[in-house]
């Protein structure tokens, strides 16, 4: 049985990007398979029959789905450059923030698909509240959520450092600013400077165009 | 370790609290159960879980751990007595985490969808979702248990705890809809048997809510949710 690692992903997705970041951070070689989500492959359907979604990691042919599950698998299988604390309480704390980020997805989704007016004002207010919690209680005075260096929490929230700026541009509201969220703003800058992240981001212009069309489709479908 | 070192803030009807209790029982950990009063949140809870203000919260030597599945993993990593809750092989662990997450992300919301359904059509759609979820879980059980009584094999494991904690609420749903969801004869023979074995396990039997008592509580809860003052 082949021992190779394959990642089935989609270039604009922060979920598949997280997996790539983790593998690169650990120096794990992998083959990347770009999925056409409008025409899902046999491989995807077979590897993730429950959700039929990317990302999927295949290791020696065995599939793992769900990005948070994949990240923990990568951490356990390739322990070099650890991305989770060793101590149980700190691990629980890291997992808490990963889950918090995941659960608040819809809050940012609402902002993304909102149009100017009361709906958008509320969505922006809700998103700001979440960002404040992340800054004050998650990040604190640390450079990264992982402390001095990035860990799985930074990777899980990494979409805030690149994809969120596209949302801000499309709705014309800037939330992460040095005046409003100084520590989170600094984290965005620091995170983007980490070599593995810096070298593995989708092209901003292409991503913006992609997200713009998704946003327009969502709005017209409402 | 002294009992006061381990506290669990919770409430008897909550399936999420139940997960923490089962995990602690499996590890034979003595703990103080701090019961929250229905309809109000204690100072201790608000202080221990300021982000979500929700139960369960495990307090270990004063340090709070929140989120039921995170608590279960913490208990598994911290106490070595009793059996292991998560498997040792990384791939098996990934499968265990996948299905536990599935229960929370898909299955439990579809169960809630039945109670929250505003009309018959919505209720039917929600029921179909639950049934398809059970079909997935039935198939998963076959593959993962490999002929043993639990998802975890000979002993209760992570998926057993994640899914099994919902059984009392599933029974209440069967009662209120008049439908058999876990069906020995037809759709879910393995899960029906597993459910019985799970509920009889010593780590579970003392803490799993009784269906009747939970059904009464459910009436109270839905009345409160709909803004009706329960009698």
How far lies B202's CA from each of A53, A116, A199, B35, B78, in Å? 38, 57, 53, 21, 21
In chain A, which residue's Cα lies nearest the Cα of B93? A73
Say what the pLDDT of residue B185 is.
72
DSSP of A99-141: HHHHHTHHHHHHHHT--TTHHHHHHHHHHHHHHHHIIIIIITT
For residue A96, pLDDT over 80 is answered with yes
Tokens of A115: 């149009």
Rounded CA separation B85/B230 (Å) = 40
pLDDT in tens, chain B (231 residues): 455 699 999 999 999 999 999 999 999 999 999 999 988 999 999 999 999 999 999 999 999 999 999 999 999 999 999 999 999 999 999 999 999 999 999 999 999 999 888 899 999 999 999 999 999 999 999 999 999 999 999 999 999 999 999 999 999 999 988 888 988 778 899 999 999 999 999 999 999 999 999 999 999 888 887 776 544
Helix pair B68-78, A88-103: axis angle to 10 deg:
160
Quickly list DSSP for chain B. Answer: --GGGEEEEE-TT-HHHHHHHHHHHHTT---EEEEPPTT---HHHHHH-TTT--S-EEEETTEEEESHHHHHHHHHHH--SS--SS-SSHHHHHHHHHHHHHIIIIIHHHHHHHHH-SSHHHHHHHHHHHHHHHHHHHHHHHHHHTTSSBTTBTS--HHHHHHHTTHHHHHHHHHHHT--SS-TTTT-HHHHHHHHHHHHSHHHHTTSPPHHHHHHHHHHHHHHHTT----
CA B119 and chain centroid, separation: 27
* A148 Cβ neighbours under 8 A, 6+ residues apart: A142
pLDDT of residue B144: 98
- Alpha carbon distances (Å) from A221 to A13, A33, A124, A214: 21, 30, 21, 11
Backbone angles phi, psi at B131, to 5 degrees: -65, -40
Do the chains contact at A133 and B73, CB–CB below 8 Å? no
Per-residue pLDDT at B229: 54
| pTM, rounded to two decimals | 0.96
Q: Looking at beta carbons, which residues of chain A come within 8 Å of B73?
A: 91-92, 95
Per-residue pLDDT tens digits for A131-172: 999 999 999 999 999 999 999 999 999 999 999 999 999 999
Q: CB distance B74–A88 less than 8 Å?
A: yes
What confidence score (pLDDT) does residue B223 get? 84
A83: which 2 tokens? 């991305």
How many cross-chain Cβ pairs, A to B, lie less than 8 Å apart? 58
> Using 50, 70 and 90 to split pLDDT, how confident is the model at A32?
very high
Cα dihedral sign, B222-A108-A99-B164: positive
**Hey, are the CB atoms on B136 and A50 less than 8 Å from each other?**
yes
What is the C-alpha separation between B196 and B205, in angstroms, rounded? 10
Instruction: Tell me the pLDDT tens digit for each residue of A117-130.
Output: 999 999 999 999 99
Instruction: For A5-18, write each residue's pLDDT tens digit.
Output: 999 999 999 999 99
ipTM higher than the 0.85 cut: yes
The pLDDT tens digits of the residues spanning A108-117 come to: 999 999 999 9
Residue B230: predicted pLDDT: 47
- Report residue A120 CA to chain centroid gap: 23
The pLDDT-based confidence of A4 (bands split at 50, 70, 90) is very high
- Least confident stretch, A34-38, A52-56, A136-140, B185-189: B185-189
Q: Which of B78, B93, B97 sits opposite A88 (nearest CB)?
A: B78
Q: Given this model, what pLDDT does residue B186 score?
A: 84
Angle at B147 between CA B145 and CA B151, to 5 degrees: 20
Those of residues 69-98 in B touching chain A at CB distance below 8 A are 70-71, 73-74, 77-78, 90-91, 93-95, 97-98
For B101, which of A59, A62, A66 is closest by C-beta distance? A66
Nearest residue, CB atoms, B63 vs list A70, A89, A96: A89
* Pairing outcome for strands A31-34 and A5-9: parallel
């Amino acid at each position: 049985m082949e021992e190779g690692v394959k990642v089935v992903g989609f270039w604009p997705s922060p979920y598949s990007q997280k997996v790539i970041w983790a593998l690169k951070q650990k120096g794990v070689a992998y083959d990347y398979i770009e999925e056409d989500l409008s025409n899902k492959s046999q491989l995807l359907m077979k590897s993730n029959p429950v959700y039929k979604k990317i990302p999927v990691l295949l290791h020696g042919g065995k599939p793992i789905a769900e990005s948070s599950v994949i990240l923990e698998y990568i951490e356990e299988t390739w322990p070099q450059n650890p991305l989770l604390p060793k101590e149980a309480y700190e691990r629980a704390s890291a997992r808490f923030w990963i889950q918090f980020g995941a659960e608040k997805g819809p809050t940012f989704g609402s902002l993304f698909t909102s149009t100017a007016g009361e709906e958008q004002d509320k969505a922006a207010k809700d998103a700001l509240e979440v960002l404040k919690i992340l800054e004050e209680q998650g990040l604190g005075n640390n450079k990264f959520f992982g402390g001095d260096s990035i860990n799985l929490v930074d990777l899980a929230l990494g979409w805030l450092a690149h994809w969120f700026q596209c949302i801000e541009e499309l709705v014309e509201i800037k939330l992460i600013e040095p005046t409003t969220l100084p520590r989170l703003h600094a984290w965005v800058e620091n995170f983007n400077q980490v070599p593995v992240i810096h070298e593995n981001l989708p092209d901003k212009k292409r991503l913006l165009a992609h997200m713009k069309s998704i946003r327009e489709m969502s709005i017209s479908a409402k | 370790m002294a009992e006061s070192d381990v506290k669990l803030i919770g409430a008897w009807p909550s399936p999420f609290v139940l997960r923490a209790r089962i995990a602690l029982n499996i590890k034979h950990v003595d703990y103080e159960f701090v019961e929250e009063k229905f309809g109000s949140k204690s100072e201790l809870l608000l202080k221990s879980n300021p982000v979500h203000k929700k139960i369960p919260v495990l307090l270990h030597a004063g340090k709070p751990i929140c989120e039921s599945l995170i608590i279960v993993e913490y208990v598994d990593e911290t106490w070595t007595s009793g059996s292991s809750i998560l498997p040792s092989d990384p791939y098996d662990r990934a499968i265990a985490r996948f299905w536990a997450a599935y229960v929370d992300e898909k299955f439990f919301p579809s169960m809630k969808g039945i109670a929250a359904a505003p009309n018959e059509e919505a209720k039917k759609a929600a029921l179909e979702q639950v049934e398809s979820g059970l079909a997935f879980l039935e198939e998963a059980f076959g593959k993962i248990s490999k002929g043993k009584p639990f998802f975890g094999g000979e002993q209760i494991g992570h998926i057993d705890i994640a899914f099994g904690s919902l059984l009392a609420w599933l029974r209440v749903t069967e009662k209120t809809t008049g439908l058999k969801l876990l069906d020995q004869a037809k759709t879910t023979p393995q899960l029906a048997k597993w459910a019985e074995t799970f509920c009889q396990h010593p780590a579970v039997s003392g803490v799993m809510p009784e269906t009747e008592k939970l059904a009464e509580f459910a009436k109270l809860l839905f009345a409160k949710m709909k803004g009706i003052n329960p009698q």
